Amino acid sequence: MIGVIGDKELFSGDEIKKCYTLEELAGSALRCRRCGLRKGCRGVVFGKGNPQAGLMFIGEGPGAEEDKQGLPFVGAAGQLLDKIIAAAGYSPSDVYIANIVKCRPPGNRAPGREEADACRPWLIRQIELINPAVIVLLGSVALQHMVDPNGRITKMRGQWIEKEGIEWMSTYHPAALLRDETKKRPVWEDIKKVRDRYNEIVKSI
Ligand code: SF4
C-alpha cells in the first residue's frame, strides 16, 4: 500500500522493503515524492548496470545530463568512471552504479542530510537486492551518508571497511578528478585495491 497525499506518493520504509525485485523497486522509486528534490528535476534516476553485480559504485546524485537521460554517471564524470572501470578490467555490465539521492539537486549542489535520509531506504533496498560483495563510495557525500557522517574522504579513501557482510572502499568522485588531475593517481591506487580484493573474492566462491 502506497501512502498518497494529494499527488504525492510518500512510500514508507516498510513499503520500500516489501519490493522483492529490483524492477519492482525501480518502478516504485520512479513515482517517489519522499523529498523536495523530485519537484525540481525531470525524473528519478534509479541506477544502471547488472542487477546481480558483485561490485557496486555509489556516487552523490544525478547531474543535468543524468537527469536528462534518466541514467546515473552519463556526463563527463560518468565517462571517466567508465574508463576507470575498464582500466580495472571490468565492463559496464560487470558492475552496478547508483547514487545517494535519485533526483537531481538544483544547480548540482550536494544533497542535504534530510534529502539523503529520505532517499536512503531506496538505496538500502537496492543494495540488499543486488547483494554486492564490494561497494566503492565515490566522494565525501557517499562516504558520509553510508559509512561515517564525520568521515573525510582525504583521510578515509583507500581504506577497507567491513559492514553488514559487504566490503566498502571510498575514493574520490570522478568529478573531483576532472577538477584536479593530481587525484588520478590516488584513485587508481584505490581502484587497484578494489580490483585485487574483488577478484580474490570471486576466486574463493
Ligand atoms: S531524491 Fe529520493 S527520496 Fe527524494 S523524491 Fe527522489 S527518489 Fe524520492
Ligand 1, atom 6: closest residue by C-alpha: 103
Residue 8's pLDDT band (boundaries 50, 70, 90)? low
Read off the pLDDT of each residue in 166-173 and give the average, rounded to a whole number. Answer: 98
Is there a contact between 38 and 103 (Cβ–Cβ < 8 Å)?
yes
Sequence letter at residue 56: M
Q: What is the pTM for the complete model shown?
A: 0.95
Closest atom of ligand 1 relative to the 33 alpha carbon: 5
pLDDT-derived band at 9 (thresholds 50, 70, 90) equals confident
Dihedral sign, Cα of residue 156, residue 146, residue 178, residue 54: positive
Nearest to 68 by CA among 41, 29, 49: 41
- pLDDT band (50, 70, 90) for residue 6: very low
Question: Which fold, 4-204?
Answer: Uracil-DNA Glycosylase, subunit E (3.40.470)
Tens of pLDDT along 112-164?
999 999 999 999 999 999 999 999 999 999 999 999 999 999 999 999 999 99
List ligand 1's pocket residues with C-beta within 6 A.
29, 32-35, 37-38, 44, 101-103, 115, 118-119, 122
**Three-state DSSP class for residue 70:** coil
Instruction: State in Å: Cα 187 to ligand 1 middle.
Output: 29
The answer to whether the CB of 97 falls within 8 A of the CB of 49 is: yes
Domain residue ranges in the chain? 4-204
Residue to mutate, 115, 141, 145, ligand 1, most ligand atoms under 8 Å from C-beta:
115
* 20 class by beta-carbon count within 10 Å (0-12 exposed, 13-18 middle, 19+ buried): exposed
- Which residue from 121, 96, 136, 108 is spatially nearest to 28, judged by alpha carbons? 121
Distance 117 CA to ligand 1 centre (A): 9
